[in-house]
């Protein structure tokens, strides 16, 4: 734990680490106070593509936590940066929420439902059959299929809801084309997160609640890894994975207080 606490930079997942739905998790206030007090570089990195950084700032504000919007990086921003790097004049048909729409717009990617270069899928409440049909047609006509992240489900207060991987899967099956996914654990998003932190990988740690995105991304990028049990992973589930986090904590408060294993 002391080795983790001595890192200069922290990449923190949000869902299951900072909050669950709209509920702040235990120890978060103390953890964020500790990050500021110890002058740590930190950013919040989420695979969700629904909200913009400004909306995340507001969401945390409502929970009593002050963090400026420059400290948030989402799979929507990473997806927009990826597409722009591939083709700065790209157009896209988008199934996604405001966070994704805004990120693509800011990156200069135009929307197009006739002959787009890309079909881009993220999480959204306005998902429907018509959009799946449109997406399948466009992919069959040559549009490249991109998913913002590989999460199958997302945690809500009442239970699990389908996330990007589940929503894009009918399009993959019907078109016979495999999507490319940008969010964690893709090194693309991890490298940008490290650049934002301004530290080298060996001086940074990732704190997350998912083994198959947060922890594996940390291991493969050479970061210190801390799994918190406040989200989707329990101690028993650790056995099912061929890799392990270096530190396990019940919640992020234990990082601030310096206890835990």
Q: Which residues are catalytic?
A: 13, 15
Q: Which C-beta is closer to Mg ion: that of 48 or that of 91?
A: 48
Which string of DSSP letters, residue by residue, matches 193-227? HHHHHTS-GGGEEEEES-IIIIIHHHHHHT-EEEE
Q: For residues 14-53, which are near Mg ion according to CB under 5 A?
A: 15-16
Bridge-based pairing of strands 91-95 and 118-121 is: parallel
Burial of 30 per CB tally in 10 Å (0-12, 13-18, 19+): middle
Bridge-based pairing of strands 118-121 and 144-147 is: parallel
Which residue in 172, 209, 224, 254 binds Mg ion (CB under 5 A)? Answer: 209
Specify the stretch interacting with Mg ion by CB under 5 A; choose among 13-21, 26-34, 109-117, 172-180: 13-21
Q: Which C-beta is closer to Mg ion: that of 55 or that of 113?
A: 55
Under the criterion CB under 5 A, does residue 13 sit at the interface with Mg ion? yes
CA distances from 171 to 43, 71, 121, 252 (A): 33, 33, 10, 38
Q: How far is the CB of 21 from Mg ion (least distance, A)?
A: 12
Q: How far is the CB of 46 from Mg ion (least distance, A)?
A: 7
Q: Which C-beta is closer to Mg ion: that of 75 or that of 91?
A: 75
Q: How far is the CB of 205 from Mg ion (least distance, A)?
A: 15
Specify the stretch interacting with Mg ion by CB under 5 A; choose among 10-18, 36-44, 111-119, 156-164: 10-18
Q: For residues 143-202, which are near Mg ion according to CB under 5 A?
A: none
Q: Which C-beta is closer to Mg ion: that of 109 or that of 216?
A: 216
- Output phi, psi for 180, to 5 deg: -105, 135
Residue 220 CA neighbour count, 13 Å, CB half: 15
Q: How far is the CB of 76 from Mg ion (least distance, A)?
A: 16
Q: How far out from the chain centre does Cα 4 lie?
A: 21
Q: How far is the CB of 51 from Mg ion (least distance, A)?
A: 14
Q: Which C-beta is closer to Mg ion: that of 151 or that of 224?
A: 151
User: How big is the site for Mg ion, counted in residues (CB under 5 A)?
Assistant: 4
β-pair partners for 178 = none
CA distances from 183 to 75, 80, 82, 109, 251 (A): 5, 11, 10, 18, 23
Name the residues that contact Mg ion, by CB under 5 A.
Answer: 13, 15-16, 209
């Amino acid at each position: 734990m002391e080795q983790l606490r001595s890192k200069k930079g922290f990449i923190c997942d949000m869902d299951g680490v900072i909050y669950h739905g709209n509920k702040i998790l235990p120890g978060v206030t103390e953890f964020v106070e500790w990050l500021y007090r110890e002058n740590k570089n930190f950013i919040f990195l989420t695979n969700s593509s629904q909200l913009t950084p400004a909306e995340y700032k507001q969401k945390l504000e409502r929970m009593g936590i002050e963090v400026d919007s420059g400290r948030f990086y989402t799979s929507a921003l990473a997806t927009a940066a990826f597409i722009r790097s591939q083709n700065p004049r790209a157009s896209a048909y988008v199934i996604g929420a405001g966070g994704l729409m805004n990120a693509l717009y800011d990156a200069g990617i135009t929307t197009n439902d006739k002959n787009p270069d890309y079909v881009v899928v993220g999480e959204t409440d306005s998902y429907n059959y018509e959009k799946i049909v449109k997406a399948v047609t466009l992919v069959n006509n040559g549009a490249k299929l991109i998913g913002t992240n590989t999460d199958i489900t997302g945690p809500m207060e009442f239970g699990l809801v389908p996330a990007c991987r589940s929503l894009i899967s009918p399009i993959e099956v019907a078109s016979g084309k495999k999507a490319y996914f940008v969010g964690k654990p893709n090194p693309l998003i991890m490298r940008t997160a490290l650049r934002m932190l301004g530290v080298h990988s060996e001086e940074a740690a990732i704190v997350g609640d998912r083994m198959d995105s947060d922890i594996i991304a940390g291991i493969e990028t050479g970061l210190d890894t801390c799994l918190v049990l406040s989200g989707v992973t329990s101690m028993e589930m650790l056995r099912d994975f061929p890799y392990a986090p270096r530190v396990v904590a019940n919640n992020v408060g234990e990082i601030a207080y310096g206890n835990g294993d």
